Homo-oligomer: A and B are copies of this chain.
Amino acid sequence: MNTEQISQYMTSLGQQARKASRVIARATTATKNHALLATADAIAASADELIRANALDLQAGRDNGLDEAMLDRLALTPARLDTMIEGLRQVAALPDPIGSIRDMKFLPSGIQVGRMRVPLGVIGIIYESRPNVTVEAASLCLKSGNACILRGGSESIHSNQAIAQCLRQGLDAAGLPQSVVQVVETTDRAAVGELITMPDYVDVIVPRGGKGLIERISRDAKVPVIKHLDGICHVYVDDRADMDKAEAIALNSKTHRYGVCNAMETLLVHRAVADVFLPRMARRYAEKQVELRGCPVTCSILPEAVAATEADWTTEYLAPILAIRVVDDMDAAIGHINTYSSQHTDAMVSEDFTRARRFLAEVDSSSVMINASTRFADGFEYGLGAEIGISTDKIHARGPVGLEGLTSEKYVVFGDGHIRQ
């Protein structure tokens, strides 16, 4: 397709999505769940086709020199299909957020006013290689009453088209229009440019992928973007910390998984406990072969630490590397966090009530924790039942974004012929 054809194609997807959004917005919970469960059945029945389509992507990936990690993310196995099926059933089992009315109350004029939860409309989702995102994203949009346009990575195009076919079967079975979920069929990058600049047809964009992709989309989008940039997460170990808890949390936050946004990247330690705590932690990190980069005080305590540079305080390693800084007190820790944190997740370990109260109030991050591992910052761990991403924005959705983040509220007003005096 040339540029003009892509523009026409995307406009037509947008128009169909807008039309479908009106239907899905008013669909009953039972109908939406029917579509989700029928999609699960279609995936189970189409396992062979899905794996065949995926084989085409894997072959192309190998031909194009994708590395093993990329190929692994791309691969659909019977176990991964089961996870997709299970995910659809879980989303079907979640409570339907749409139509709930809260805070309905009588006002002095005699009218009743409340707020009803409603879908956003059309959601555009842009993501990279993993084909399971196609099912995850579609199921969350569908359950929250939104139409969606999905644009997956070009390396998973065959897998995504095969999954789209199952989604269409599910929508058909429930009597819903197929265009409630549309998967972009061209791999041309211009399609992304169109998708993010159609405010008439797309209400919000959710990009999932690397920082470069997200920055580019945020810069160029003409519609709101629910986005997640880096996760530069901190754990501050206070001098009033229980040292056993501090050790468990500092170890888990860094080493439970390295390549995730809620892993700790910088450890802050109160000066009064640094002499005791740092050598103890260094032994644990050594077992896991975590490289330590420290401030001058840290390096004076830990000979194995290399000197940290300014860049270390602002780097999301996503690797077995940890920056460590010794601070004079909690104020210095909060100062460091509010300067260098990406406002994703920051934790303090302390038994001090008054300091906990201040840390909660003064650290401006999407998740602020006391005596818990940063690894808990996750939609499932928070009981949202699902997660479309973690927002480091403050507008609309902040932190793990579940179904509610894909909705809005409208005011509903009841009267009995009331007029304004």
Which residues of A approach B to under 8 Å, CB–CB?
Answer: 22, 25-26, 99, 105, 107, 109, 111, 113, 116, 118, 120-121, 203-204, 224, 242, 244-245, 248-249, 251-253, 256, 338, 347, 349, 360-362, 364-373, 375-377, 381-383, 394-396, 398-400, 408-420
In the complex, are the beta carbons of B394 and A400 less than 8 A apart?
no
In the complex, are the beta carbons of B414 and A109 less than 8 A apart?
no
CB contact between A410 and one of B365, B409, B418 (< 8 Å): that residue: B365
Q: Which chain B residues lie closer than 8 Å to A371 at the CB level?
A: 414-418
A-B pairs with beta carbons under 8 Å apart, 20 shown: A25-B362, A107-B382, A113-B382, A113-B383, A120-B394, A203-B395, A204-B395, A224-B395, A245-B416, A245-B417, A249-B417, A251-B419, A366-B411, A368-B411, A370-B413, A371-B417, A372-B417, A373-B418, A376-B415, A377-B413
Given contacts A113-B381, A121-B394, 6 further A-B contacts (CB under 8 A): A347-B413, A367-B411, A371-B416, A373-B415, A376-B420, A399-B409
Q: Which chain B residues lie closer than 8 Å to A394 at the CB level?
A: 118, 120-121, 203, 408
CB contact between A99 and one of B248, B361, B395 (< 8 Å): that residue: B361
CB contact between A111 and one of B22, B338, B366, B376 (< 8 Å): that residue: B376
Q: Which chain B residues lie closer than 8 Å to A377 at the CB level?
A: 411, 413
In the complex, are the beta carbons of B411 and A25 less than 8 A apart?
no
For residue A189, give the distance in angstroms from its CB to the closest CB of chain B.
22
The count of identical subunits is 2
In the complex, are the beta carbons of A414 and B116 less than 8 A apart?
no
Q: Which chain B residues lie closer than 8 Å to A245 at the CB level?
A: 416-417
For residue A141, give the distance in angstroms from its CB to the closest CB of chain B.
14
The 7 closest A-B pairs by CB, nearest first: A372-B415, A245-B417, A252-B419, A375-B420, A369-B413, A394-B408, A396-B396
Q: Which chain B residues lie closer than 8 Å to A204 at the CB level?
A: 395
In the complex, are the beta carbons of B395 and A408 less than 8 A apart?
yes
Interface of A is mostly: mixed
In the complex, are the beta carbons of A381 and B248 less than 8 A apart?
no
Q: A382-B113, A419-B373, A420-B376 are in contact. Are A400 and B411 (CB under 8 A)?
A: yes
Q: Which chain B residues lie closer than 8 Å to A249 at the CB level?
A: 417-419
For residue A360, give the distance in angstroms from its CB to the closest CB of chain B.
6
For residue A354, give the distance in angstroms from its CB to the closest CB of chain B.
14
Q: A203-B394, A338-B22, A410-B367 are in contact. Are A417 and B361 (CB under 8 A)?
A: no
In the complex, are the beta carbons of A256 and B338 less than 8 A apart?
no
Expressed in whole angstroms, the Cα–Cα distance for A111 and B412 within the complex equals 36
For residue A165, give the distance in angstroms from its CB to the closest CB of chain B.
30
Q: Which chain B residues lie closer than 8 Å to A105 at the CB level?
A: 383
Expressed in whole angstroms, the Cα–Cα distance for A120 and B377 within the complex equals 21
CB contact between A372 and one of B362, B376, B414 (< 8 Å): that residue: B414
Expressed in whole angstroms, the Cα–Cα distance for A111 and B377 within the complex equals 11
Expressed in whole angstroms, the Cα–Cα distance for A203 and B349 within the complex equals 30
Expressed in whole angstroms, the Cα–Cα distance for A204 and B395 within the complex equals 8
For residue A37, give the distance in angstroms from its CB to the closest CB of chain B.
23
In the complex, are the beta carbons of A419 and B248 less than 8 A apart?
yes
Expressed in whole angstroms, the Cα–Cα distance for A395 and B377 within the complex equals 23
A99 to B, closest residue via Cβ: B361
In the complex, are the beta carbons of A109 and B381 less than 8 A apart?
yes
In the complex, are the beta carbons of A396 and B395 less than 8 A apart?
yes
Q: Which chain B residues lie closer than 8 Å to A400 at the CB level?
A: 411
For residue A112, give the distance in angstroms from its CB to the closest CB of chain B.
9
A382 to B, closest residue via Cβ: B113
A359 to B, closest residue via Cβ: B412
CB contact between A244 and one of B121, B410, B417 (< 8 Å): that residue: B417
Q: Which chain B residues lie closer than 8 Å to A256 at the CB level?
A: 419-420
